[in-house]
Amino acid sequence: MSSGIDVLGAAQILEQGFPNELLLTNLGKLSVQFDTGNLRLKALWGPAVLMGFEGEQTVGVTTTNDSLCLLHTSFKPIPSLLPRAAQILQAAVNDPRIFGKKKH
């Protein structure tokens, strides 16, 4: 803002630079030891990111302890988004063209 840009100008830059309707973030497979004493972290949900655009949907993805975790973040969530994503992922896992004959 020190260069003289106003709020409207900044919003226009963001709108042009980040015109996403869906943002997918992926932390990947985390191979970090999360256990301490008797406590064990079973899953990590995130990241949760919102840019502030109307209708935006964000899905945060991470894998911990061999479990895929999906987190849906939005100002106006689409209730069917994650259940439908789970169906698509399960179909892909069971598709021998993708993972061969072995069932996961």
The domain spans of the chain are 20-99
Query: Would you place residue 1 in the very low, low, confident or very high pLDDT band (cuts 50, 70, 90)?
Result: very low
Q: How would residue 2 be classed by pLDDT, with cut points 50, 70 and 90?
A: low
Q: Does the predicted TM-score (pTM) go above 0.75?
A: no
- C-alpha span between 3 and 89 (Å, rounded): 46
Q: Give the model's pLDDT for residue 34.
A: 72
**Better-scored residue on pLDDT, 74 or 55:** 74
- Amino acid letter, residue 12: Q
Across residues 96-103, what is the average pLDDT? 69
Give the chain's mean pLDDT: 78
Cβ-contact 66, 34 below 8 angstroms: no
